[in-house]
Amino acid sequence: MPAWLKDAVFYEIYPQSFNDTNADGIGDIEGIIEKLDYVKGLGCNAIWLNPLFDSPFKDAGYDVRDYKKVAERYGTNEDLVRLFDEAHKKGIKILLDLVPGHTSEEHEWFKKSCEADRNEYSDRYIWTDGAFCGIAGHPYIGGEAERDGCYMLNFFKCQPALNYGVLNITEKWQLPTDHPSCIATREAIKDVMRFWLDKGCDGFRVDMADSLVKEDDEVKSATGAIWTNIRAMLDADYPEAALVSEWCNPKCALKYGFHADFYLDHHGNGYNVLVRDCETEGGDHSYFKKDGGDGPQRFLADYLPRYEGSKDYGYISFITCNHDTPRVTKALDISEIKLAYAFFFTMPGVPFLYYGDEIGMRYLADVRTKEGGFHRTGSRSPMQWDASAKNFGFSEASSEKLYIPQDSSADAPSLAEAESDPDSILHTVRSIIALRHEYEDLQADAPFEVVYAKEGERILVYKRGNLLLAVNPSGEAVKIPVSELDSISCSNLIYGIGKADFLEDELVIGAQSFGVWE
């Protein structure tokens, strides 16, 4: 386990929307370098960059055309290496986004794979042995290549699936996972990883990490064997490199070699009931919704088995949001968001802050889809630095050239405004991250224990190491007799939102309040 992950707090940067320095309306690497001090000032000591590689951008860069080349709109390979260097000088790690399950249909590997004559790339992708037979249970494309066959897709039409083999073979065109061609696919991805690690990259966030082997078993054992192999390579040659999965199943992902696994906005894992339970019948019952009505039990019922089953292997990563998820401002107000963020940044694991969430940027429901974003596009609008500057200081380009339109509301948030407002989300984010860095008991590997959570009550009291924490998202103050807190000895308040304190023999948590005691 890379030691630096213990105290890591990540900032996710969607490169095309962060900071444009050449006035083309699209963010670039130079723009990220320019804002490194800002990122460090938030307390974030690591960055995850969404894909920067050469691409036709039919899926915002998740359709990679060349894994070893930076897309021209962002800069050059040399610019990216300079970003690594400048970030490291400031104590900031950089994760790149690795897309191992598919490439662009314009990748040279795929072009060679489409040829009628056999070559070393013929089995780099999953093909049937005839153009008139589909791939049962999987999306596929036929009739677009000289080759007599159909090929499997991993996501959009533009993303043919790389071939890591099939665990339980049922068709003669399927290859076993130990076939030389499938091993060659794995080794090609390892070669890409080595290429960037040798240039200064600190690791990878892995897109769709569970999507490698098709017809895998329920626990993804064959896909897991690939990641176990890759982890062995990292342990041997790059022991400080981090591997973070988009899997949302920490029991699998962490046992198979990932250091951390994203807790995504999926039903059934507990995360969505905290801040995004807006699809529930009868209104929004999100735990952090003031009038949501629900206690923490639904979250705990899903989270605790996952935490207990994976804590000895690695970390769960809570996110404020990401490029695929509606910003929390879609459902929560500022006071509710503060409590949610205080909770996320005091939980076990390695947390991720999505750019703009620290100032309360909004989900823009009415923007037109861009580069395969569709409903996700509303969370990818350009960063709003200063309302008094052109395009909020994101770009000097004309507004119609911007990658995605910005928030046109008269009260659209900006960093400059948040800086001057002591009650802004920004100041809460900075202070809670600072607290996390100050106290080891709030960092990734410190124990987590539920102290008080009763059916019908909305308050949650929990311990991280020797610290006691309590959150009350409701609109009513709550008093808990100390006798019900298992002989808790903590009474010195070291951090609070709202009103939270021990008074005589009671723990008093005001409406929409949060506290940390030692």
- Residue 489 neighbours by CB distance under 10 Å: 10
Q: What are phi and psi of 229, to 5 degrees?
A: -65, -45
Instruction: Write down all domains in the chain, each with its CATH number in brackets.
Output: 3-100+182-438 (3.20.20.80), 102-163 (3.90.400.10), 448-517 (2.60.40.1180)
Q: What is the enclosing helix (H) or strand (E) of 228?
A: helix 221-237
C-beta separation of 107 from 63 below 8 A: no
Residue/partner pairs of 393-401 with CB below 8 Å, 24 or more apart: 394/17, 394/18, 394/19, 394/20, 394/27, 395/20, 395/23, 395/24, 395/25, 395/26, 395/27, 396/20, 396/23, 397/20, 397/23, 397/24, 397/25, 398/25, 401/24, 401/25
Find, among 361, 360, 363, 359, the residue nearest to 416 by Cα.
359
Question: CB within 8 A of 287, min separation 6: which ones?
Answer: 273, 274, 275, 277, 294, 295, 296, 298, 299, 458, 473
3-class secondary structure, 155: coil
Task: Going residue by residue through the chain, which has 518 residues, state the pLDDT in tens, using 9 for 90 and above.
Answer: 999 999 999 999 999 999 999 999 999 999 999 999 999 999 999 999 999 999 999 999 999 999 999 999 999 999 999 999 999 999 999 999 999 999 999 999 999 999 999 999 999 999 999 999 889 789 999 999 999 999 999 999 999 999 999 999 999 999 999 999 999 999 999 999 999 999 999 999 999 999 999 999 999 999 999 999 999 999 999 999 999 999 999 999 999 999 999 988 887 778 989 998 876 666 788 999 999 889 999 999 999 999 999 999 999 999 999 999 999 999 999 999 999 999 999 999 999 999 999 999 999 999 999 999 999 999 999 999 999 999 999 999 999 999 999 999 999 999 999 999 999 999 999 999 999 999 999 999 999 999 999 999 999 999 999 999 999 999 999 999 998 997 777 889 999 999 999 988 899 999 999 999 99
C-beta separation of 208 from 164 below 8 A: no
Residue 127 C-alpha from the chain's centroid = 31
Strand partners, 514: 471, 497
3-class secondary structure, 400: helix
C-beta separation of 16 from 59 below 8 A: no
